[in-house]
Every structure is written in C-alpha cells, then in structure tokens.
Chains A and B, each alone.
Chain A
C-alpha cells in the first residue's frame, strides 16, 4: 500500500505539521521583547508549500488569516526563479502583498537536497516602523508616505549572508531599533525552529511523501469546508452598515456593503457597493478584508477545520480596488483595524439573514485606539497606546458577552497597575456602564468606560473611536446598543469630544472613553423577567429602563418581579408598538435617542 493513501500516517503527519506551526508561534511569544506580540498575540506563523500555498497556520490572530497567502504571492511574483537555500525574505508594503506597515513578514524557503519543499512564514506587528507618529498607527494620516518605512519584498538574507544595507536602512528609520531588531530575531528564531523540525519530517517521510501529505492537508481542509458549506442553505443575502467617518472628512459616513452568495459547497463574499477609499488611514488591504470575511464564515462552520488554502478555495472574497476594503496607492491604512472589525460585524449581519438562529448582533464596534505621547522634562519620550473593546452583540440563545475581546483580534488588556508604574498616566476607572446595552430577549453586552488622568506637563492625545452616529445594530427585534462617548474632564467642564480627534492635553486633564453598548437579539418583551431582575440587582440596568425597555416591574425593596403588573405592562407595550412583523435589523430605538438617554 502506498503511504500516500495511508490515513493513519496522514493523521500523524497533520498532527506534526500543525504542532510545528504552533511551536513557531510559541517561539515568537517566548523570544519577543514587546507586549503587542506577547499579550495581544498580534502575529501569526505558518507553513506554505513549495508554491507558496498555505498549508498550516498557528493558533493566534484571526485577523491574519488570509494574510500569508497574499504575501506569499508577492514573494513568488518577484522571486519565483531567484531563490536559493539560505535566503530569507522580508516585506511590509501594503500595496505589494502586505497589510499595514507595522506588520512585517519574514519568510524562509525550506530545502531538501537542493529542492524547495516549503516555506516557513511569520508576520509580526512591530512596535514602530517610523513615520510621522510614534507607533506608526495614526488614524489621521492621509497617504501611505506619512505612515513609515515601506519595505518591498526583499532578501534579508541571501544564501545565508545578512543584507547589511537593508538592516542599517531599517535601523535608521524606526524609533526603537532595539525592539524592532529583537522582534525580527524572534521571527528568525521561529523560522529556524520550523526548518529543523521540518527537516525531521522529511527525514521520516521522504520528500515525495511530505509533498503529497502537504497537498492532502490542503485537500482535507477543503473537503471539510465544502462539506460544512453544503449543510448551509443556498441563496443570496446582503447587509450594510456604516462607519461614522474617517476622522478627516468629519460627518461623512462610510458605507460597508456585503453580499453573500452560497451555492452547494462554495461561497462568494462580495463587497461590491462598499464606499470608495477614504483620506483617513482606515483603508483595508484586500488581504485584511479577506481575513474579516473568513472570520465571519468560520464562526458558523464547525471548529477543527485547519486554517489553510483549502478553506480559501471554498470561500471566494471579492472587493473592488479603490474601495475602503481594497485600497490602492496612496491610500493610508495604518488604522485599518477599525474597518476590519466592522467588516466582520457586517459579515455577522449578512450571516444572520442567512442563519437567523446562529449569529450575533453587533458588538461595541471593535477596538477603540487611544494614544498619549509626548516628552518628559529630560526630553526622553513616552508613548502610551491602548486598544480596547469588550461588548459582544447578543446571540439568539444567550446575552452578549460583557468584557470580552472582539473575535477578530482576541487581544488581552494591560494591567492598570503596570501601566501606572510605566507611564505618566493614572487610570481612574475601568468598569461597566449601566443602561447602554441594547435590549432584547437576549441583551447586548454591557460596555465599560476607562478614565485616564494625565500626569506630565503636556502630551498629544489621539483617539480613534466609532459607533457614535451609527449605533451597534440589534437583530430580530433586539434594540441597538447606545453610542460611544468621549469627554474631557468629566468631573469639571465635561466637554464632549468627537469620535476621532487629535488634541493637546495638559497635566491633570482627564479623558473618559465609554464604549458603545452592544446590540440586542429578539423581542425585549420576551426576556425572562428573572434575567431583567438580575441585571437590575447587579446595577447593570436601572429599574426605570427595566420598565421602559422590558416592561418588567421590579420591587427594589424585596428584589422581586411584580408578575401581574409586568404582564399588564407588556401587553400595553405590545399594543402600542403595533409590530406587524419582527424587525430584522434595528439601528435606532423606537423612541428618539434623546429620550433613551434620559
């Protein structure tokens, strides 16, 4: 029997190759200097076959699924016939296979007896790649040239010799070269681990068999994906959502529009109709739009399907060039995370039309980015970057999660105590805010607020938030969540600030950010009164709002529900509401926003 058809040997091979991809990821975690990689897992590792097709990806960041194939295509386009043992490639250019400039790819082709069999692939978010703002993450740059160092696909090593020119060039153009080089070493270490362990695999199975097994790993994922897609209904579903604005052209909403077409074991995710690319730095590359699309679809497929080319064969993603989902030169894209998060939410909306009982309503909108940067008296710099999100949309079977990362990023929060030791900042509050979650049979996730007091003489405060004008949608009768809020000195002048801005702050200033509440799912009048009571008891919902949104009458002296008063109240509300049918998507409360805010 040829080993190619040996299902046991194949399973063992598959175990081994995914274990190597995970071990590459652990190597990055172990060897990195930076918190972005360690705590936020903002990196990915994987294996591609000799043609650059993704075979296995480590378990890290959903936002990177789809990034490696696009980058590998660029490498193959430039170097297919100009590659040798000992070469290592580096790149970050969003317009030649990359995503945004901080994400640097490092690839190493793996050889056996002079023949290329595979690639070890890594991509890591680096602390800084130069440009006009520390951290290279500004949302208000208007062209790529302001965002930092663009590295076309280049050889970092050629036949084992390091490219000193390139290294020096990088060193002189980033703010923290020690950290950038430390993290590049982590990427090289991961490639090295992959190379040694892959050599063991080839020794065990032989080159032919290894190649055949890698092909079979991809086919296996394709079979699983297609089998899972077969079980979903055929048809076409569309959904639209809006980003408030790009922070440059204030007040101009940005439309996201997706159409899902599913036939048998094949799905097309088509973003035609999405807004043209914008001046602000929230333009996606196609690869990130793909990641957002895959993240949505994967959430309704069974777990356990390997992340590789086989999945991509069954799910086709279309997004016309020149749109906010597929920017072209000179689009700025440093802060494109926002668009990616929101495209994932838009996918959930479309999937909810396809599978009403499987998908969640909109969450808080993906992470808010807050940067506080400046100089101490001795001219040494400080830079504080906080990305935060936390409220999940309600699900058809359960409330939205309170205080849980967006599915696209799965990052961890930084300790407040550590932040206060290291930064000229005191955090005054980090807690849930009541009455902001969208009501529903299952309510949206409860958002939190963070209050930051600045302790040095002067700094630039830059904020990228959204969901101010366009609230997180509720589904199938569920209310939308309440909008996000920004304030300066809430206990003093209490000035309302816009969603996206850059401003100077002084010693003692307090900035408050409140996330948007997440959308609800299902008719609020069907919510279990005991669940409403629990939220009131826990001060996540006021008795007044329990009455207004849910028609639940609560006695706060005995902590009980008045059942008959509740029944009467709910009947009256049903009559007044006069629904002919349950609204599939809700963007606004039945009553004006001002009233809801009372």
Chain B
C-alpha cells in the first residue's frame, strides 16, 4: 500500500493540505480556515480528501504541521494568565525591556503590554553573583509565599527567571520543586531549563512567552490528536519549529516557544530540499502572498538562522536597524526578512505626488477592486491584472471570479489620471515600486549580511512570488529563477522535506586559549546526551540520529558573536586553533575584516543540534499532481514596460515547458501564476521545477 506523508499549513484565510505518497503522487487541497477551531479544519479537510481519493486513515504515515496557533495567541493577547517569580529588585525587567523603541519621532508609540502584569510578578530575596556564587541564599519560606500568592491569583502558568541562573540554577530549581509540589499540573517554565543563556531581559521574555502559550498549545494539540483519532488516523503528529526542524507534539507542548514562527518555515525547508536535489548550492527564497513578502537565504545547502527575533513586531522597512517592537524570543529561527507587500497592498499617491505601495493591505475583505467585493482602492493585484499578468476572468482555477472592467476603471481614475500617465504605465510603475520594496527584503538577507545576491538563484513561491520574481531578479543581477511545483501551496509542501531537529545551548564565557578544555568538553557532552536522549525517546536511533555541535564566538571585547560549526572529536589545542581559524574566516566573510592571530577569541555559548533523519535520507523524488491540469488558456496581451510595450503573450501550463520556451510567457496554475519576461528562457528540471534563465 502506498504510504502518505501529510503536510498541513494553516494560514489566516486558507488551510493548505498536501498528501505525498511514497510513489511520488501528490494530492492537494486548499480549504477555508475555520477560525473557531483549526483542528476541525484539518480533520474535515483530510476527510474530504479521503472521500475524493478513496484513501483511508491508515494510509497516512505521518502528519506534519505548521501552525500559527502560538503566534496568534500572542498577537491577540489570548495566552495564559501567567505569574512570574524573579529576583528582588528586578521585578520590572520584563516591562522595562531594552528601553529602545522601533520608531523615531513617534509621540504615539505604545510599548507592547507586558505578558505578565506587575501584580503577578512576585520577587524573592536571593542573589547569585556573576560567577555562580550564592550571594544571598533563597529563603524557602518566602519562595513558598510567592508561589502561594500566584496560586491564589489563579494563574494558569508560572514562569521563573532569576538573575545568573544559567550559571547556577540552584535557586530556580528550588522554586520549581515548590511549584511542582503545590500545583503538579500547572504549566511551568523555568529559565535555567528553557534558555540557560546570559542576558536577563531576553531570558525572562523567552521564559514568559513559553509559559504564556503553553496551555494554549497543549489544548490545541490535544484537540487535534483527539480529532485525528476519531477520524481513524493513527499517524504520529510532528510540528514545524521556527528553526525549520520538526518536533514531536509532546515536545512542542512542553516548549511551545520553539513553534512560534512555525508558519513560514515550511516553504524555506522545501526550497532547501529541492535546491539540494537539483544541485543548486545557494538560493534566496522569496515567498509572496496576499499581505506580506518574505525572503531568506540558503547558503551551501544550509538555511540561515537568527539567534533571536521578536514576535508581533509588525512589518516595517528598516526594522533591522530599529528594534524594540513585539516580544523578544531568544530561540533560533530561520532568518526571514519581511516587508508589507502582497497582492492586496494598496496603491496610493502621497501628498507630494509620489506613487506609494502599502504597507496597508485590502486584506481578504474587501480585497482588491477586481474581486468586486466592495474594494474601491487599487491594489497590486489590480495592477497585475491591468498588465495582463494574471488571468482577467478568475483565480484559483476558477474559484475566484474577477471583475477586470471595474479594476481598470478605478485604477485609471484614482492613479493613472492624477499622475497624468497612461493606465498601463501607471500600473507598470506600481508593479516596479512594489518590486523595489520587496528587493529590500532580499537585500536584508544578502548584501546586508555581506553576501552578493548575484551568486544565488531566486527561488520563488507563494501565490504572487512567481509573478514578481523575474523582474526582481533582473533588478538585482540574479540570473536564474526557480519556481517549484505547487508554488502557491509550497509552505505545506515544504513540511514534507523537514527533519526532526532539537536545539540546545548554554552560555559559557571563557577565553578559548585560557580555559579548562575538559570542562567545556564535559558541558558539551552533557548537551549532546540531552539531545540523544530526546531523539531516542522519539524513535530516532543509529544512523537516523545525528548530533552536531557549534560554538558562538567573538573577539574579546566585542559585543556580538558569530556561530561556527565544531567538528567531531576531542576539544584540544589543535581543535581550538581550528575553531579560531574558522571564526576568523566567518568574521571576514560577514564583516569584511578579521583581527590578527594574536587577538584572543572568546567562547560565548556552546550549542548542540540533534537531528532525527527520515528513512530514505529525504531526497525528494519527482512528484505527480493528481489534479488534472486545466485546459490551456488563450494568449493575451501583457505589458512589459516602455521598452517592449504590449506583447501578445502565450499562456501555458507547467507541462508545456517540457520543451524549453523563450519569453514572454505566462504559466497559469491552480495556485499561482508565473510571468516569464521577453528574452528569458524557461524549462522544467528533473524535480518538476520551472527554471528560468534570465541571461545577462
């Protein structure tokens, strides 16, 4: 019997389900997200797919899930009532944050409200100093009182974060023991276990966010498991984490902080897998949907990760310079740059007469003008329709009918006429400006990190990604664009290619050349044992288990660090020399210079990643979509700027590219549209990707 892996990605409006059989067959379905209960949407969607395909629950081997349930709880402030216990004198670390605000000159700025109100933040008299010595011992009676106060306040979860607990956790563990004794079932998040790393604000915030979403995530996963059981689907449930690796449902319930940015990770991991399969060493992923566009980088086959990010920070250009919004999480996550540009982004004219795009979006309601659901402000989708890029009659294989006449009239009235431009020139301008905004996201993950985008291929997905990809690639000097199969559903598709992955880290500040290497080795071994035990408990043993080490390092005196991989083997003087050299090289690559060999390198933190690999090593085979391709559409006129003007452009299906063709071309599919500009050459590769060569 063909066994299927299922990828489920829940978005704001649509839930995407992809079934991939071990014979390469795929079944896909886009359904409306029932906001009342996401778990129902998944179970109902699967039931519908079973009816269509005649499959049964036991054909499902694994269900892989990317979810926004945790981030939504934070954005909507619907998480648990959390109590926090912290060191006396430091009750307000969570609320004072870093003082920094993300906007200049803004008198109306409001800080995000703290996830724990002040009266639920209890302090205990204790102090561990910077070197782990007990300065003031914890008074157990007082700790009991603090816990009692919180329990009397009926908190739904407790977070504990004391100063320097990553160096000496004894006081935190004593409080943990008290909480466990008094309230054994209460969700509990203790900083020395959750994030044993230096910097009290980041550690407190992460520990609190974890506690805040623990009950919500546990409830959701229980409901989903129950629904799957009731539907006769015994398959195990794996969750996508922010770092791009999968985790089990029980581990996710314990450390939900790891699945906050679960949503966008799937697409990046899928892109990474397809790029490996087709031998592309470096890609920039570009995912554009209805409201936002996201970019990330895969370099030498590896995704780029950020050590820290903010949830609910909003989207703004320049946000990499101006921090302070949202809730800080010091948890490794795929490094994504996001701008507020999508199909629904509004097109408008500012008071000085300049054409502007977004960041406001028409959203699902009223949507673009062409949806004819009451939208009266032109959007990027309307501009693309005017330019002939998207089908003027309908989208999503006919599911969404469009009113092209209205879109043309409103765009001419509100944009083209005031600017004194012919409609197609104004629409083309809007298209280019949207592209230039999105180019900033690509620069954020490439040039701003010292990488040259011209050395990468642009891997485009999301409903609107392939419409813009070629134009953006040309502007950046990128010569190759890749559009994967099921581009519009790629976030769920990508889930199918991820491995199980657990990250562990510990602050460990030592000058490499002066430290007791045995001590570092033992600390590393302890983390590796933790990773191995977790993987073994999940059924990954032998060749399916892999443990990798890395080290965060900096030159003594620097206030930031870089992570380098640590090869297997004993930590000795030779290894130290190799690490210092690897760090020097990474420093030069990222910052353009490195210090001389006499400059001491300091270890900042030790890290371990445990990987649970799939049986077949994860190489994707060529997939066959069970959905029949739509009938071919007639050619239509499309506008490619004043150099080319209007060109009668063939409209193809993906399979028509079995023989290479030269643009202009439009490839229409169920879930996405791909625009190939004049002169570019498009073909299919062995994995079913559309590959577009743009030339010089």
Q: Which residues of A contact B (CB under 8 A)?
A: 7-8, 10-12, 14-16, 19, 22-23, 25-26, 29-31, 33-35, 38-39, 41, 58-60, 62, 179, 185, 189, 220, 223-224, 227-228, 295, 298-301, 303-304, 358-360, 388-390, 395, 397-398, 401-405, 407, 410-413, 415-418, 420-421, 426, 428-432, 448, 451, 537-540
Give chain A residues whose Cβ lies under 8 Å from the Cβ of B101.
404-405, 410
B161-190 contacts to A (CB < 8 Å)? 163-164
Give chain A residues whose Cβ lies under 8 Å from the Cβ of B402.
none
Cβ-closest chain A residue relative to B555: A33
Give the distance in Å from the alpha carbon of A431 to the alpha carbon of B106 in the complex.
25
Give chain B residues whose Cβ lies under 8 Å from the Cβ of A421.
130, 198, 509
A165 → chain B closest CB, angstroms:
23
Whether B321 pairs with A299 at a CB distance below 8 angstroms is no
Q: B216 near A: Cβ within 8 Å?
A: no
Whether A415 pairs with B198 at a CB distance below 8 angstroms is yes
| Chain B 114-136 per-residue mask, 1 if CB under 8 angstroms from chain A, else 0 | 00011100000000011000010
A439 → chain B closest CB, angstroms:
19
Q: B355 near A: Cβ within 8 Å?
A: yes
A49 → chain B closest CB, angstroms:
19
Whether B130 pairs with A431 at a CB distance below 8 angstroms is no
Cβ-closest chain B residue relative to A193: B447
Whether A303 pairs with B433 at a CB distance below 8 angstroms is no
Whether B119 pairs with A538 at a CB distance below 8 angstroms is yes
Give chain B residues whose Cβ lies under 8 Å from the Cβ of A25.
321
Whether A185 pairs with B593 at a CB distance below 8 angstroms is yes
Give the distance in Å from the alpha carbon of A389 to the alpha carbon of B436 in the complex.
38
Q: B623 near A: Cβ within 8 Å?
A: no
B466-490 contacts to A (CB < 8 Å)? none
Whether B593 pairs with A31 at a CB distance below 8 angstroms is yes
Give chain B residues whose Cβ lies under 8 Å from the Cβ of A359.
107
B335 → chain A closest CB, angstroms:
14
Give the distance in Å from the alpha carbon of A23 to the alpha carbon of B117 in the complex.
38
Give chain B residues whose Cβ lies under 8 Å from the Cβ of A19.
440, 443
> Nearest 10 CB-CB pairs, A to B?
A8-B429, A429-B89, A403-B96, A538-B118, A420-B130, A35-B559, A412-B100, A415-B199, A298-B105, A412-B98
Q: Contacts A359-B107, A403-B92, A540-B118 given; 11 further ones with Cβ under 8 A?
A: A8-B425, A15-B437, A30-B590, A58-B321, A299-B107, A405-B99, A410-B322, A416-B93, A418-B198, A420-B130, A426-B129
Given the known interface contacts A12-B436, A38-B559, A59-B322, the answer about A430 and B89 at a Cβ–Cβ threshold of 8 Å is yes
Q: How many residues of B contact A (CB 8 A)?
A: 74
B419-458 contacts to A (CB < 8 Å)? 419, 421, 425-426, 428-429, 432-433, 436-437, 440, 443, 447-450
Whether B164 pairs with A417 at a CB distance below 8 angstroms is yes
Q: Most chain-B CB neighbours within 10 Å: which of A26, A220, A358, A411? A: A26
Residue B199 contacts which of A41, A295, A358, A418 (CB distance < 8 angstroms)?
A418
Q: B200 near A: Cβ within 8 Å?
A: yes
Among B74-82, B236-244, B346-354, B521-529, the stretch that binds chain A is B346-354
Given the known interface contacts A59-B322, A390-B99, the answer about A430 and B90 at a Cβ–Cβ threshold of 8 Å is yes
Whether A29 pairs with B99 at a CB distance below 8 angstroms is no
Cβ-closest chain B residue relative to A405: B99
What are 14 A-B pairs with beta-carbon distances under 8 A? A10-B354, A31-B593, A402-B95, A404-B109, A413-B99, A415-B201, A417-B198, A418-B198, A432-B96, A432-B118, A448-B92, A448-B96, A539-B118, A539-B119
Q: B53 near A: Cβ within 8 Å?
A: no
Give chain B residues whose Cβ lies under 8 Å from the Cβ of A537.
119
A416 → chain B closest CB, angstroms:
6
Q: B320 near A: Cβ within 8 Å?
A: yes
Given the known interface contacts A31-B593, A185-B593, the answer about A11 and B99 at a Cβ–Cβ threshold of 8 Å is no
Whether B322 pairs with A16 at a CB distance below 8 angstroms is no
Give chain B residues whose Cβ lies under 8 Å from the Cβ of A14.
354
Give the distance in Å from the alpha carbon of A360 to the alpha carbon of B90 in the complex.
28
| Chain B 576-595 per-residue mask, 1 if CB under 8 angstroms from chain A, else 0 | 00000000000000111100
Q: B111 near A: Cβ within 8 Å?
A: yes
Give the distance in Å from the alpha carbon of A429 to the alpha carbon of B559 in the complex.
23
Give chain B residues whose Cβ lies under 8 Å from the Cβ of A389.
99
Given the known interface contacts A12-B432, A537-B119, the answer about A411 and B89 at a Cβ–Cβ threshold of 8 Å is no
Q: B557 near A: Cβ within 8 Å?
A: yes
Residue B429 contacts which of A11, A34, A360, A402 (CB distance < 8 angstroms)?
A11
Give the distance in Å from the alpha carbon of A35 to the alpha carbon of B560 in the complex.
9
Whether A358 pairs with B425 at a CB distance below 8 angstroms is no
Cβ-closest chain B residue relative to A29: B321
Given the known interface contacts A415-B198, A421-B130, the answer about A26 and B354 at a Cβ–Cβ threshold of 8 Å is no
